[in-house]
Structure 1
Amino acid sequence: MQSDIDLRSLLGIVRRQLWLILSIVVGLTALAAIITYSLEPRYSASAQVFVDTAAKGILDADEPTRNSGSDNARVDTEVVITRTDEILLSVINSENLVADDEFGVKISLTDRALQLLRLKSAAAPEPEEAAADVLDNFRDSVRVSRRGMTYVIDVTVTSEDPEKAARLANAVAKASIQKQMDTKVAAIREARDRVQPALEQARQTLTSTSRSIDTFIDRNIELLREQGSPSVGMFYDELTRIRSQRERDFQRLQTLDQTIRQNDYASLFQNLQSDAARELQQRQEELAGQIAQADANEAIELRAELQRVTESIRNEAARAMDQYRGQLATAEQQETSIRSNLLNAVMGSNLPDAAVGDLYSLANQVQSAKKNFDDLSMQAGRMDILAALQLPDSGVISNATPPREPSYPRKGVILPLAFMMALGLGVGLAFVREYFVGGLTSEDQVETVLRLPLVSITPREAEETKAETGAQTLSDIIIRSPLSMFAESVRRIRVAIDQHLFKKQGIREEGSGGTVIMVSSALPNEGKSTMALSLARTYALSGKRTLLIDCDLRKPSLHRHLGLEPSTGFVEFLRGAETGASLPKLTVTDQPTGLTVLLSGRRSSFPTDDLFMARRSHA
């Protein structure tokens, strides 16, 4: 029951303060809508990047083992790396965001005001400062996050233009992947660069040890021819011939390269010594002579043909150089093979022990240097291949597309939230106004504030109620509509008075006298006459002999409620005037209820205190 009463009380507060609540809700919601729709929309586009934590090279055959802890750390690291300034700066440079209207260098309103007041110079910002401003603007628009516990990273860019947002999101994702590639390739190339000095040292060691063997054989060739097998001399002579031929080819190659660089065609033709070269030389000389005798138009065509002939000469020289390079490579292979055969033949010869020991020592040094050189050369070559065949550990699995709806402001969230906040604020202010600003509105509130027991609350009756019941005044509702809320509230007052008298006096005996009930108010026009007449009629209708006295001698009003003419008899009686009238003759009867009423006359022209003083003196 108490919860029903509380709910009814709350609903009553809402009903009484409904206009306040509605005005706050409508006003704040409209304000939020105006602000929301006035904001410039911003669009967010996202690209999804998959991070492969296996880190498997393209030449690796074995599948590496996985570790969930390291995988999570790897993905989180990629999230941090994607937001680094280096990647964002690469996107700024590639997309030319320095000149962009949204992310580029802009003068703030504060700076403009300071410039107008001549408190700050209007000079353009320094390049470093401008780049930092663009980086800050772009960084605020980029959001990189991991999707749950997956291996997918969302790269989101927010911009005023949906197409720009998608383009920049894809650019950031690609820049991050390219950074992975560059980092891996740079690491491999750094390792290769560390190997190169060791490889060059191994080459020099191999060359020096090989020359030591050649020097040993050159010094002892006569002895080897005499004591060794016949193949020693044959291999040595063939090796000498190949060396001489390789030296001549190398000299020709250098000469051709030098003449081409210097455009020395006369020396070039002498070194080429081929029919094609001689024909090209002859055609070049003919064209040069024709150009000297031709007019301007013919000279243009002849110069173009001369340019083609010159290009053919260069091509012929390049072909000859390629031929010499091939001969050098073949000679080098033959030299290596014959040197190996010569060394085997020498090792099989009948040499002194000291010479054999020196030769074996040199041979072992050559083998060791060759193995070291081959290993380092293989590693350097493998690193070059790895650098060329590297793949990124991440890949874009979904490119960003231009969004259709703006991500800011989120009207579907802001407006309902603004409505709920406005509703809560309106209800809160309604309770504040109900309990702290407005008057007393409930029985509990009256008892709490006044700290007095409350008998009843009389409802406010509208004029329509009196018209429906045919009542002239509110007190007539007691007769015309005895079941109305107003009549019920007056009966509650009567019951409360009776209960109070019963508790105080008990059951009264016949002839013990009547009970006086005074009705008063703190301020004028608060309804004391209406309430006194209504209460008296209630007692009269209940069968009690009731006398109602209008003691408002300054401004009597009961006669208006009863529709009677005022009488000055009561005032004259109180003054002690000799009118010959007694109190019973001064009373009138309310016909509908049988109530006895003692009316008062119009406002007295003298103080009412004199009436009581005169009455006491007369007595």
Structure 2
Amino acid sequence: MLKRLETQREAPAPAEAETGFDIHGYVNFVWRQWKLIAGVTALFLLVAAVETARTTPLYTASAQLLLDPHKEKAGGQDAIMTDAALDLPTIESQIAIIKSSALLRRVVEKERLVEDAEFGARTRVGGGLLDRLRELLSRNAPQQAPARTVASALGGSPETVATVENVKQAVAVARAGQAYVINVSFTSADKEKAANLANAIADAYVVDKLDARFEAARRASAWLSDRLVELRQQLRESEEAVARFRAENNLSGSTPGATLNQDQLAQLNGRLVQARAETAEKKARLDMLQKLEARGGGIAQLPDVSSGASAELRRQASDLSRQEAELLARYNPSHPSVVNLRAQIADVHRAIAAESQRLAANIRNEHELAKARQEAIEKTLREVTGANDLDNTKAITLRELERTAAVNKSLFEDFLQRERVTQEQSTFEARDARIITPALAPVTPTSPKPLQSLLVALVLGLMAGTLGAYALEMLNAGFATPREIEDFLALPLLASISRMDQRELSVNGAVVSIPEYPLAKPLSRLSEALRSLRSAIQMSDVDNPPKVLQFTSTIPGEGKSTLAIALAGSAAQSGQKVLVIDGDLRRPSASRYFGADKKLGLVDCLVGAAELHSALVYNETLKLWFLPAGGKTQNPPDLLLSERLRTLVTSLREQFDLIVIDTPPMGPVVDPLIISNLVDKVIFIVRWSSTAREMVAHSIERLSGHKKVAGVVFNQVIDSKAQKYGKHAYSYYYGGRYYKKYYAE
């Protein structure tokens, strides 16, 4: 089946590479279209040269401005106008200021440019082709505000506005790399004027920055002065309100916002904390004493409970117990000394017990006393708290008044400091922009640049010429190379027949027909092409060499009839008995070639009006037999579908070695499809680089079901153009310079 492309196939220029980038294909494309490319390029160069010669030379002068991000502060203090970081948006904003109409209007008025012949007369900078094109395009742009409206907004006359617009077109402002430097350029036909106006614009920007800074400082100082008067009055009123509220409500606490009850409440809270701590301590000693008594212990076991008498009694008891032990060692217990000593010991123990009871009573009394003191303080605190609740609303109001007074005081002091700094800055000239490189009159013009213009024209011309050539080849929908036939139709290219004009067909001063040319020039390119075609047809089916051939095409005028006769003549010269049948019953071109268009022929044989032997014509020149189309018929398809045609062809197979049937084109009629059922092979003729691919593909698709299409023959090939398709035009090479020595024209 056909390998028809689903998408639009690329044009043959440049030729397709099998893989990757095909440099040869592009070279061949340029070779094919070099005249068009060269012509378009020459036109561009001519226009560029004429335009360059007509354009007035323009000069561009540039001044450099430095934006200083580290300018000196006034009076060593932070200025009221804080410096913004010079980031990209800030620098772009400064560039916009330089190019603004307001700043340029100052320059126009100062330099009296309204009266200038170049700008005041509304003459555009330049005046070349590009400027005229720009003016033409601007007519379709959205309409701007009327000149009088703009003039009213800028505070100038319409002439001034027009001059500002002309000057704006001559100004170019750009940042110099990543530095804080701005280039201010001006373009004019006068080099001195260009330098003067570039410097004037730079000066105007510096002055504008200073004016804006001083004006901002002046406005800030005036605003601060007015604000200080208001703040001073507010501070006085707020302080008087605090004093008046204290006096009216008898509020004179030790701290701001505090009443007398609040001071007393604070003191009682402190005393209550101490009393509770003391009560807790006494309670802990009492609890420990009670635990010792419960276990049968004595107060002497408490670590911090003792007295001088208790200690002395214990020492006496210890001494008496030692003496008792010594006496018992010498005497018996009833001895008077022992009895007396034991009486003393008993008295000491009774004294110790009495002392312990006294100390325990003291601990209990101290606890009761601490508890009573705590309860007394708590009672007093409750009384004072009740009285303090009555003053809470007044205290809250007092604190609010005091806070308001404090805020007013802080705000007043801050504005007072700012007002002092602003007054100092208003008299201090701090330049954050200055000219570091003034503009000088340029030596050479910046435009036009002949070499650059010609190079641009050359590039544009080559691009336009190449695109035009590519579009031209895209519009050529015909086949141009064997590779295209093979890829698009999936059929082999059997042969390529070159186009021959009358000069080439001239033999000994006489012009011969294409079928007769191989007789006069048997070693010519045409003769070799016909022999190659015969060989290709025979090789299409080696086992069953085709005997009956059908020649057809897509549309009329592709040369199928002439080629069919030429092939038959070539076969006849090789000794074969050949018959040519004119199967085109509508336009019998072959019959006219043999001068038999009025004789009996195929139609007469099929309708029984003549016998075959009486309709056959022998051509002495080509040494072949010919069966004309014969008489006219109203319904050629019905006649061709008759059994008589099949019987006729079968009979002729036995009489001739080769039968060539010339049929109508596939496009308009169905006759070729009917005849294709009776032949061995169909030879499809395609006019080189002419017939549309889709039409050819559609015609062959109608024949492809019969599997009889042997291949395609390129006809009327222009060798000089075909060879420019490079390696994909290999079948043309036999007609090229490489094989000339093999031919004898």
> Which TM bucket (shorter chain)?
0.3 to 0.5
Q: Quick check: which one's helix share is greater?
A: 1
Greater Rg over alpha carbons, structure: 2
Q: Quick check: which one's strand share is greater?
A: 2
TM-score by length of 1: 0.47
